Amino acid sequence: MGFTQVFALVNPRGYFLSLAVAVDRCGFLNKWILFRVPSQLRHLLVAVREIAPFVRAASEWKRLKSGIYPVLALYSFLQKENKFYKDAIPAFRGEYGRLVDINSVKREWTS
């Protein structure tokens, strides 16, 4: 289809984890950029505003580093969600549900 990169902003959490596993196992994580958002619907508008510059840059044919990114503005909500659902993630999805530290997230978002 000619796509160089695919962006995904998925809510709720279970759908995100399922998509992350599927994309990685199919070998497409080098073309996909997955943004992790807290599962409450009220966070979607903030998330869309935050990722708009990424989509704009990609539309100008800039190549962005693929992978899984938590939305920086919603990081504290993701931390709370991770604590709440800590034991509910099946083992094969566990690595996709893990949050990196805030400094790594800030570094990724500024680059």
pLDDT confidence of residue 58: 82
Domain segments of the chain: what residues? Answer: 6-110
| Composition of the chain by helix, strand, coil, percent to 5 | 55, 15, 30
pLDDT tens for the chain, 111 residues: list them.
Answer: 456 778 888 777 778 888 888 888 898 888 888 888 888 888 889 999 988 988 888 888 888 888 888 888 888 888 888 777 666 566 656 566 666 677 776 777 666
Please report the pLDDT score of residue 1 as a whole number: 47
34 burial level (CB within 10 Å; 0-12, 13-18, 19+): buried
